Amino acid sequence: MDGNQISMLKKIMEIEFTCIDLNLYLDTHPEDQKALQDYNYYSNQLSMLKQQYEQFYGPLMVFGHSQSQYPWKWVDDPWPWEIEY
């Protein structure tokens, strides 16, 4: 697993965490425009990062989220718990 793959995964986890926390804030403050704006910004970043990652390293989630290149990429190593960050 190369260093670029690991740093992309870390970046994805960081942005995803920020999205989740903003998600929770917005649940109780649905009319907060600034928060919504930030949420949309990070959400958009997250989906771009995931798309980029999947182009290089295969799907992050299976069916319904993204397609696979040939050959089938889902079963490729390493499994999530085998990654050393």
Q: Point out which residues bind other proteins (CB under 8 A).
A: 13-15, 17-18, 21-22, 25, 28-29, 32, 34-35, 38, 42
What φ, ψ does residue 62 adopt, rounded to 5°?
Answer: -90, -155
Q: Which is nearer to other proteins, 8 or 68 (CB)?
A: 8
Closest approach, Cβ 57 to other proteins, in A, equals 20
Q: Which is nearer to other proteins, 15 or 53 (CB)?
A: 15
Q: Concatenate the DSSP letters of all residues of 22-70 into one string.
A: HHHHHHH-TT-HHHHHHHHHHHHHHHHHHHHHHHHH--SS-TTS---PS
Residues in the chain: 85
Q: Which is nearer to other proteins, 25 or 57 (CB)?
A: 25
